[in-house]
Amino acid sequence: MKKYLFSVAIAAGLFGDVLAQGPMRFSLAEAQEYAIQHSYNVQLSDLDLEIAKRKVKETTAIGLPQINASGGFQNFLDIPVTVIPDFISPTVLNTLVQTGVLAPGDVPQSDPQFVEAQFGTKYSVTAGIAATQLLFDGSYIVGLQAAKSYVQFAELNKEKSEADVKEQAAQAYFTVLVAEENLNIIQKSVGTLEKTLSDTRIMFENGFMEEQDVDQLQLQLNSLRNQMDYAESQKNIANYFFLFTLGLPETTELNLTDNVNSLVDEADHGALLNQPFDVERNPDYKLMNAALGLNLLSEKLEKSAYLPKLSASFSHQQQALRSEFNFTDSDKDWFPSTILGLNLNIPIWSSGMRSNKVQQAKLEVEKSKVSREQVMDASRLEYRTAYSEYLNALNGYNNAKESLDLSASILNRTQIKFREGISGSFDLSQAQNQDLNSQGNYIASMLKLLNAKIRLKKALNQF
């Protein structure tokens, strides 16, 4: 219910933004929720889940009463003719002899004769109703269990699809934030260098600096402007990828409300690293375990073919036979026919067909067990890899942060020396490049840390 209200709140907020024709605002959680609501894979998983639920209802209906009505009308344009032996003429002649009308010698001797006879009426109408009820069928019981298990499998598949979408949305979100932060840093560096270049020109014109210092700073500025253009294109690409991940038009304006630094600072790294790994929580393992359960039911289904099947049936039919089309006359007769029956089917011999089906089902079970072990080992490997990457990313982030502080201090001291004429433009350019590289490494370390965190949370199934 909370998730539903949260989704409605997001939809309402987004709808309001659209009406206002302003940028669409997303926090990380809102972006992930929006991606889930609009992901093609999640939509397909929802449909698979609904199909599975309908399959349960369909299978359940097999064991419930089945009632069908029938009706028919026949107009015999030519009533069928049947040829039967002529038993009438011999009977009449025999009676005439016995009564003395004919003498025995007067009876003509001939080969047996046949006469044509028509049975039935020109018109007939039938109306009936039939009902069947399954009393016992082992395959029905197993099939019902399998259908319910398939619903659980579809639910697990949807859960995995949502986890994948959340991971993709988070990675796209982080990329946009980092691209924006990188562009901001370069823009600030360009502004700072432009001011330094302007001051240096004035000092050169007044004879306090050499022309080489001006040229060196101009060269550095040109290179930095190229980096700024490249960073801006990378930001646009990151925006397009984020919009694609969320299923939004590429012309949509964005306003991401989370800050990359706050996302890093808010993370409880120690708690995540100390979280124990439980393979039973892994989505892939749970799916494979569900698949094994389905194969076990499939084996049980094949074994149920050895059991007898029992069903009951009831049918009632009314038939009207007319030489004239007068079926609406209430005084005419309708002839009933009512049948109540039991049907028993006992399997006896299938020439090994049932046995081989059972053996195939058993082999499928063994395959599922092997696949489950494989997924179990792969899940553990994925966790260990994600854990190691997260730990390395955290160490790299701390080192990059320390290096950033050092490079900023070095740049600050070099700028002071440059203004005082103690240090040259080459030293200043080197310090600026070093600081810019440190800032780039720092941003890259944040992106690596956030992505590693998402991967580890997915391995722990903590989405």
Each residue of 210-234: pLDDT tens digit? 888 888 888 888 989 999 999 999 9
**Residue 20 tokens, joined:** 């206002």
Domains of the chain, residue spans: 29-38+145-306+351-459, 80-119
Instruction: List the beta bridge partners of residue 116.
Output: 83
Separation of alpha carbons 165 and 148, rounded Å: 26
CA angle 451, 396, 429 (to 5 degrees): 110
Instruction: Please tell me whether residue 23 adopts helix, strand or coil conformation.
Output: coil
Lowest-pLDDT range, 119-123, 185-189, 356-360?
119-123
Each residue of 61-117: pLDDT tens digit? 888 899 999 999 988 888 888 877 766 666 766 776 677 666 666 656 666 677 777
DSSP for residue 87: -
**Residue 286 tokens, joined:** 């749970």
User: Which distant-in-sequence residues (6+ apart) come within 8 Å of 203 by Cβ?
Assistant: 209
**Residue 189 tokens, joined:** 């560096």
Q: What is the pTM of this model?
A: 0.73
Q: What is the CATH number of domain 29-38+145-306+351-459?
A: 1.20.1600.10
Lowest-pLDDT range, 29-38, 79-88, 140-149, 287-296?
79-88
Match 């009449």 to its residue by tokens.
Answer: 92
Estimate the share of the chain in helix, then strand, then coil, as percent rounded to the nearest 5: 65, 15, 20
CB burial class (10 A; 0-12, 13-18, 19+) of residue 173? Answer: buried
CA-CA-CA-CA torsion for 300, 302, 303, 309, nearest 10 degrees? Answer: 110
Which run of H or of E encompasses 82?
strand 81-85
Residue 92 confidence (pLDDT)? 66
